[in-house]
Amino acid sequence: MVSIKDIAKQAGVSISTVSYALNGSDKVTDETSARILQIAKELNYIPNASARNLKKRETKILGVFLTDFRGDVYGDLLHGMKEISNALGYDLVVCSGKQSHKMLPERMIDGAVVLDQAFESEELLQYADLGHKIVVLDRELDHPNINQVLLDNKAGATLAMDYLMENGHRKIHIVTGPEGSYDSIQRMKGVRLTAERAGVEIVEIPGDFLKSGGVQAAERLMREYKEPVAVFCLNDEMAIGLYNRLADSQFRIGEHIHVIGFDNIEVSRYLQPRLATIEYSKQRWGELASQQLVKLISGEEVEHERVYVKLIEGHSVGKAPA
Amino acid sequence: MVSIKDIAKQAGVSISTVSYALNGSDKVTDETSARILQIAKELNYIPNASARNLKKRETKILGVFLTDFRGDVYGDLLHGMKEISNALGYDLVVCSGKQSHKMLPERMIDGAVVLDQAFESEELLQYADLGHKIVVLDRELDHPNINQVLLDNKAGATLAMDYLMENGHRKIHIVTGPEGSYDSIQRMKGVRLTAERAGVEIVEIPGDFLKSGGVQAAERLMREYKEPVAVFCLNDEMAIGLYNRLADSQFRIGEHIHVIGFDNIEVSRYLQPRLATIEYSKQRWGELASQQLVKLISGEEVEHERVYVKLIEGHSVGKAPA
DNA sequence: TTGTAGGCGTTATCAA
DNA sequence: TTGATAACGCCTACAA
C-alpha cells in the first residue's frame, strides 16, 4: 500500500508538504504541488479513509437504517436521500439489521436516518446523548440531536375515511399495522377522530403491514359477510394481500368489498380494480431527511418536518348500496 | 469521546491491558478483565471503528453497488446478500453512484459486489490489481481478484423463445436493453441462437430496460400492426410499459399482442393478463454473491457461479392464429 | 499477567 | 514555502 510517506520519499519532500499538496492547500508552490501530484498519480496513490476519518473525526458518510431491504416504499425514498446527500457533499450507505447499528456510535458514519421500528428509541436516545445526529422517520423523539421528518398520517387517514364516507359507507373495517408501529398508531388516531365526528362505526381487524395481514382480513370478511363492507387497510401491502385472497372467491372488490389503502406503492396502480389509496412523495421524504440530517450535523437549529399526503381515487371503492 | 486510554487511567492499568481485556484475550486475569469491562461500561466506552480499521487493515464490511435504488429487482437480492454476509461475520452496506466507488480503494469496505453498468470494468480491474476483492453480477471479467455470479441469461432467453414458438409464433419482436448492457447482450445471444435453429424471424426493437422503452415499442407495434404479433421484452419493466401504453387502445395483450418478459418482478403477477416471464431466485443470487465475495477475501480459490432460470407461464401469451 | 513502545496513514501545529 | 513532530485511537510484539 502506497502512502503519503512513499510519495514524500520519492519527491524528496516531507510528508506534510505532500499532505498539503494533496489537499490543494496554497501553502505550497504550484511547482512542487504539481510534482507531488504527478508522483502520486504514478504511484497509484489512494488515500486511506480510516486514517483520514480517524484524524478528522468525520467520514462525510450518511447512513440510513431500514428494517428490511424488501419493501416497496424504499426505492424513491433512498433515491431522494442519495441525491440530496451527494449534493451536500455526503455519501450515502444503506444498512439493515441490528448488527449495523454500531456504525453510528463507532463513527463510521456522520449521522443516521432511521426508518426501522426495530431500532429502539432507547438506543437512539443514548446515541443522541453521545452527540450523534439522527433523523427519525418512524417515531417522535424529543432530543436536540434528533430531528423528525414524519408523514402526515392523521391527515391521510382522514382523507381515506372521508372518501369512504362520501361513497356512502357508514361502517368501516380498519386493518391495522403491527403493534407498536408508529404509522399504524397515528393513522388509527386519524381514523377514530374522523369516525367519531361523523358518527360512523369502525371495526378493527389486527394486521401486520404485510400481505399476510390482508389475507387474514379477507378471510374474516368473507366469513362474516352479510352485506357490502368498506375496508381501510392501513397500508397498500395488506390491501394487496386482501386482493390476492379474494381473487378466486365470488367477492368482487369495489362491489362487495370496498377497499382503500395507504402508501400508493407501485403495484397498487396495476391492481384490478385500481386501488384507492393515500399518496405522498417518497422521494421528497428522502430529500427532506437528508437535508435535515446535514443541517443537524453542521450544527444548525432545525424544526421538525412534515410530509404531506393526498388521496388517490380508485374503483376499489364504489358507492354503498342505498 | 472516551477511549481505552480513559479506561486505563480509571482502572489504573495500561492501555494494552485494556485492549486485551476488551478483545477477550486470556492474557489478562479474569479479575482485572472484569474490572476493566465494568469501567468500560460505566464510561459508556465505544470503540472507534476508524482506529480499529486503520490498525487491522480490515473493516468487516461488504459493499454492494447498484445503479439506482429504484428498481424492483433489488429487494430480495439485497436481502439474500445481507443474510449471508451477517452469517459470515460481515456487515453489508448498499451504495449507489460514482461518488461511492472510492469506498473500495480507500478501504472503507473489505470487498464489493457490483451490479451497476456505470461502474466501469476498467476501474474495477484497476482496483482488483490493487488487491481489492470484487464480485460482479453484470459482466464477465477475468481476474484472480474478481469472481462472477451471473444469471443464465442465454438459457432464459431460450426458454422464452421456445414458449412463444410452442404457441405457434413464427415472427418474434425483441425489445432489447440499453446499449452495452451485459444482460441484454447475453439474452440476445440466446434469442438469435434459438431463432436460427428454429428458422424463426426476429425483429429487434431497441429498448432501455425502462418502462419508457416498452411504451415506445408498443407505439411502434400499433403503428405497424397488420396481424397478431409476438414480443419478447428483454425485461419485465419494459413489458409493463408496453401494457401501460396498450391499456387504452383497442389492442388486447394475449390476443393481438403476445408478450413475454424476463425477471419476474413483483408487479408482473398483478398485470392483467398475468405476464409470462423468466424467473430466477433473486435472493439466491444475492446469497451466492456474498458467499463468493467472502471466500475471495479469505483467499480461497473460487469458481464462477451461475444462477439458473425457469419459465413462468402467463396469459400474456396465447396461441398464434393458425 | 501486565506494561512499554512502535506503528497503522493522516492531518495540523509550530518552527525553521 | 517547507519540515519536524505530535496527535487521532487502537493493536500487538516484546520486555518486564
| Euclidean distance between CA atoms A270 and B242, whole angstroms | 13
B23 beta carbon to strand D: under 7 Å: yes
Within a domain: residue B166?
A: yes
Domain holding A21: CATH number?
A: 1.10.260.40
How many CB atoms are closer than 10 A to CB A110?
Answer: 22
Res B71: pLDDT: 80
pLDDT band (50, 70, 90) for residue A140: very high
| Euclidean distance between CA atoms A11 and A4, whole angstroms | 10
Q: Are residues A74 and A10 in the same domain?
A: no
Does A82 contact B at CB distance below 8 Å? yes
Helix (H, G, I), strand (E, B) or coil at B66: strand
Q: Are residues B82 and B141 in the same domain?
A: yes
Give A126's Cβ-side CA count (13 Å radius). Answer: 13
Q: Are residues A260 and A287 in the same domain?
A: no
- Tell me which residue range forms the domain holding A65: 58-150+282-307
Within a domain: residue A319?
A: no
Q: Would the pLDDT of B248 be above 90?
A: no
CA torsion through residues B230, B235, B236, B237, sign = negative
Q: Are residues A189 and A244 in the same domain?
A: yes
Q: Which nucleotide is nearest to A18 (CA to C1')?
A: D2
Give the best residue of A66, A94, A275 to mutate against chain B (max B CB count within 10 A).
A94
| SS3 letters across B67-103 | CCCCCCCHHHHHHHHHHHHHHCCCEEEEEECHHHHHH
CA distances from A30 to A7, A8, A13 (A): 17, 16, 14
A101-105, A318-322, B85-89: least confident range: A318-322
- Tell me the helix, strand and coil percentages in chain B, rounded to 5: 45, 20, 40
Q: Would the pLDDT of A72 be above 80?
A: no
Helix (H, G, I), strand (E, B) or coil at B57: coil
Cis omega (within 30 of 0) for bond into A228: no
Q: Do B50 and A50 touch (CB under 8 A)?
A: yes
| Spatial contact of A253 and A293, defined as CB atoms under 8 Å apart | no
Average pLDDT over residues B15-38: 92
Q: Would the pLDDT of B73 be above 90?
A: no
Res B5: pLDDT: 94
Q: Are residues A121 and A165 in the same domain?
A: no
Residues present in chain B in total: 322
CA distances from A279 to A78, A110, A160, A260, B181 (A): 17, 31, 10, 11, 34
**Looking at chain A, which residue has its C-alpha nearest residue B286?**
A69
Pairing of strands A229-233, A171-175: parallel
- For chain B, the domain total comes to 3
Q: Are residues A119 and A210 in the same domain?
A: no
Res B291: pLDDT: 98
Q: Are residues A291 and A143 in the same domain?
A: yes
| Spatial contact of A114 and A149, defined as CB atoms under 8 Å apart | no
Chain B hits for A245, Cβ within 8 Å: none
Q: Are residues B146 and B214 in the same domain?
A: no
Res A298: pLDDT: 95
pLDDT band (50, 70, 90) for residue B216: very high
Q: Are residues B262 and B174 in the same domain?
A: yes
Q: Are residues B269 and B160 in the same domain?
A: yes
How far: A7 CA to D6 C1' (Å)? Answer: 21
C-alpha cell at A98: 441490528
Chain A hits for B76, Cβ within 8 Å: 70
Q: Are residues B163 and B225 in the same domain?
A: yes
Within a domain: residue B321?
A: no
B62, with CB counted inside 10 A (0-12, 13-18, 19+), is: buried
Within a domain: residue A53?
A: no
C-alpha cell at B83: 443474510
Q: Are residues A85 and A41 in the same domain?
A: no
Cis omega (within 30 of 0) for bond into A273: yes
Domain holding A121: CATH number?
A: 3.40.50.2300
Res B318: pLDDT: 97
